[in-house]
């Protein structure tokens, strides 16, 4: 086995033994421009506990890092906080290789792991909500975080060193050799944390609010937050900062930002988009334009998470909307962004269904329609450009009035 | 006797026939067993088979 990978010490008894995925750019449809990490942790006391594993393809890297601290055969316990395969992918192989005394998981985690790997349910030890266990002198408390972001999700708290193993919560897709957020560029980590929340957690705001309230009521002293992706947090300001951001994102208060998403075949809907942008800006809005021929849906939702307006445009093609717009609207509808005002527009030739279809989708998404769908036959003339500008201005005015 | 409540194992939503609001899509007082077979959890979308009595 390759032995080039070493563990990184987090606290006196906690080691990071995960894997760095420098290559990944498509994480179930989410553009991971900076790669990712799959974080696993080893807690070494009188007994040895492994917390989560890594994606199946990275098993050797994890074992190499474990072996730099202890013989993997010495692992007594495994805690599986989350059943998704980026963290459980090599759990069955790890169980087979180290034969642990117990594998702890939530009740839903037990069910999900059995459904994934068709393993014997009795090889897993389900834990109760709030249960505390002593693992060789290391005291852990397990807290269910149902639907944050899967039914099985839980977090584990190590009392002795005040470490919260938070699974996917508070993480980000960011490959780096640095293991702590304070060693990285703040602009990059702020953006990637927001992108992670936006793409994974946006539809689950009500669950996140409840879970944050529950965890706060436990009054745990947290010195380190150790998520399953990206850097760890060890400074009070970073930990407080991310909790504050999650609290805000769960509510999605509207802002003065408008996201404009559009695509065009012959440039007419694009001309409308440019005029609409001018109108929105005249109305005091900050505009973010996404030409969907070369933009990624996961960047659109990242901007929408902190927006107050959403405008979408498409040319009409074969009595419908353009495929690039269908893609992003399908994705956004599922993510259920809230507290937005907006409208739909587009150029057409003879039937002009696209703006109507998009307006209906906006309504289904709960977007408050601030201006009736704007349609232009073929190429917009000066008057229609003015109308487009006005359309933008009206949306901005309605949006700004709500702030 | 109080009506039997059911909890969604997936997300923790509790269906209580006595206090169920409009989010449940059911008339007040409807027993869990009398909900249509295609009824889903109003919080997470899971089917009736994912509920257990509580
Ligand atoms: C971001 C995300 C959201 C999901 N949302 C749902 C959901 O709403 N309902 C559901 O039944 N499964 C949901 N799943 C679970 C997947 O459908 C499940 O993992 C499935 O086995 C994936 O199939 P595949 O291997 O063909 O991709 C979700 C998974 C991910 C990663
Ligand atoms: Fe996950
Ligand atoms: Fe994950
Ligand atoms: Zn549910």
| Residue A302 and residue A195 in contact, taking contact as beta carbons nearer than 8 Å | yes
CB contact under 8 A, B10 and A207: no
Do you find a cis peptide bond into A149, omega within 30 degrees of 0? yes
Question: From the list A108, A206, A207, which residue is nearest B9 (CB)?
Answer: A108
Give A44's strand partners.
A48
> What's the pLDDT at A4?
87
How far is B20 from B4, CA to CA, in rounded Å? Answer: 12
Helix (H) or strand (E) holding A172: none
Identify the pLDDT of residue A2.
52
Q: Are A135 and A41 in contact (CB under 8 A)?
A: no
Q: How confident is the model at residue B25 (pLDDT cuts 50, 70, 90)?
A: confident
Instruction: Check if the beta carbon of residue A322 is closer than 8 Å to that of residue A269.
Output: no
Q: Which atom of ligand 1 is nearest to the CA of A28?
A: 31
Which ligand has the nearest atom to the CA of A148?
2
pLDDT for the residue numbered B20: 82
Cα A76 to Cα A41, A92, A95, A133, A328, distances in angstroms: 13, 15, 10, 14, 46
| Rounded-to-integer distance, Cα A171 and Cα A242, Å | 10
Residue B22: which pLDDT band, with cuts at 50, 70 and 90? confident
Going across the sheet that includes B51-53, the strands are: B14-15, B6-8, B51-53
**What domains are there in chain A, each with its CATH number?**
8-251 (3.60.15.10), 257-401 (3.40.50.360)
| pLDDT of the residue at B4 | 94
Mean pLDDT, 10 residues at a time, chain A of 403 residues: 85 98 97 98 98 98 98 98 98 98 98 98 97 98 97 97 98 98 98 98 97 96 98 98 98 98 98 98 98 98 98 98 98 98 98 98 98 98 98 98 95
Who's near A231: CB < 8 A, 6+ residues apart?
A: A172, A174, A176, A178, A179, A180, A181, A183, A184, A189
Please list, residue by residue across A329-361, b when 16 or more beta carbons sit within 10 angstroms of its beta carbon and e when fewer do: bebbeebebbbbbbbbbbbbeeebbbbbbbbeb
Contact B49, B37 (CB under 8 A): no
pLDDT of amino acid B3: 87
Which residues in chain A have their CB less than 8 angstroms from residue B45's CB?
A: none
Name the 3-class secondary structure at A167: strand
In terms of Cβ atoms closer than 10 Å to its own Cβ (0-12, 13-18, 19+), residue B21 is: exposed
The continuous run of DSSP H or E covering A138 comes out as strand A138-144
Report phi then psi at A167, rounded to 5.
40, -130
Find the distance separating the first CA and the last CA of chain A, reported in whole Å: 59
Whole-number Å distance between alpha carbons of A346 and A199: 27
Kindly provide the b/e burial profile for residues A249-282, where b requires at least 16 CB atoms within 10 angstroms of the residue's own CB. bbebebbbbbbbbbbbeeebbbbbbbbbbebbbe
**Ligand 2 centre distance from Cα of residue A112 (Å):** 12
The closest of A78, A133, A140, A305 to A208, measured between CA atoms, is A305
Chain A interface, best mutation among B44, B45, B51, B52, by max A CB count within 10 A: B44
What is the per-residue DSSP string for A8-54? EEEETTEEE--EEESS--EETTEE-TT-EEE--EEEESSSEEEE---
Nearest CA to ligand 1 atom 15: A150
CA of B14 relative to ligand 4 center, distance in Å? 8
- The DSSP secondary-structure symbol of A173 reads -
Distance from CA of A384 to the nearest CA of B (A): 43
Q: Does the structure show a pLDDT above 80 at B1?
A: no
Q: Is the CB of A336 under 6 A from ligand 1?
A: no
Task: Name chain A contacts of B44, Cβ cutoff 8 Å.
Answer: 147, 151
Q: Atom of ligand 1 at shortest distance to CA of B44? A: 8
pLDDT of residue A3: 72
């Amino acid at each position: 086995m390759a032995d080039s990978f070493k563990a990184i010490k987090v606290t006196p008894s906690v080691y990071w033994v995960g894997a760095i995925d420098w290559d990944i750019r498509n994480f179930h449809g989410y553009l991971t421009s900076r790669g990712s990490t799959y974080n696993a942790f080893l807690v070494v006391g009188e007994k040895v506990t492994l917390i989560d594993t890594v994606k199946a393809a990275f098993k050797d890297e994890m074992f190499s890092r474990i072996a730099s601290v202890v013989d993997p055969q010495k692992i007594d316990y495994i805690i599986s906080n989350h059943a998704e395969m980026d963290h459980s992918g090599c759990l069955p192989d790890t169980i087979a290789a180290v034969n642990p005394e117990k594998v702890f998981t939530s009740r839903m985690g037990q069910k999900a792991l059995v459904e994934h790997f068709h393993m014997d349910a009795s090889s897993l030890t389900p834990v109760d909500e709030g249960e505390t266990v002593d693992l060789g002198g290391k005291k852990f408390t397990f807290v269910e975080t149902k639907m944050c972001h899967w039914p099985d999700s839980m977090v584990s708290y190590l009392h002795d060193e005040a470490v919260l193993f938070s699974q996917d919560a508070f993480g980000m897709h960011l490959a780096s050799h640095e293991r702590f957020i304070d060693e990285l560029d703040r602009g990059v980590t702020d953006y990637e944390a927001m992108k992670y929340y936006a793409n994974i957690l946006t539809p689950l705001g009500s669950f996140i609010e409840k879970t944050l309230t529950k965890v706060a009521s436990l009054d745990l002293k947290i010195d380190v937050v150790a998520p399953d992706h990206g850097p760890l947090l060890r400074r009070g300001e970073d930990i407080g900062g991310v909790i504050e951001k999650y609290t805000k994102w769960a509510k999605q208060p509207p802002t003065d930002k408008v996201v404009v998403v559009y695509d065009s075949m012959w440039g007419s809907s694009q001309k409308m988009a440019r005029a609409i942008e001018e109108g929105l800006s005249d109305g005091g809005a900050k505009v973010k334009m996404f030409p969907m021929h070369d933009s990624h849906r996961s960047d659109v939702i990242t901007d929408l998470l902190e927006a107050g307006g959403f405008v979408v445009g498409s040319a009409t093609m074969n009595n419908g909307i353009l495929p690039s717009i269908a893609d992003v609207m399908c994705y956004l509808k599922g993510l259920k962004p809230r507290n937005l005002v907006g409208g739909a527009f587009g150029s057409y030739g003879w039937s002009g269904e696209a703006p109507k279809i998009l307006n209906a989708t906006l309504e289904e998404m709960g977007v408050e329609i601030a201006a009736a769908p704007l349609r232009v036959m073929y190429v917009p003339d000066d008057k229609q450009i003015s109308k487009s500008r006005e359309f933008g201005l009206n949306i901005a005015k309605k949006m700004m009035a709500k702030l | 006797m109080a009506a039997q409540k059911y909890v969604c194992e997936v997300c923790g939503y509790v269906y209580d026939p006595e206090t169920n609001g409009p989010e449940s899509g059911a008339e007040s007082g409807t027993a869990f067993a009398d909900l249509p077979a295609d009824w889903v959890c109003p919080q997470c979308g899971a089917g009736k088979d994912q509920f257990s009595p509580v």
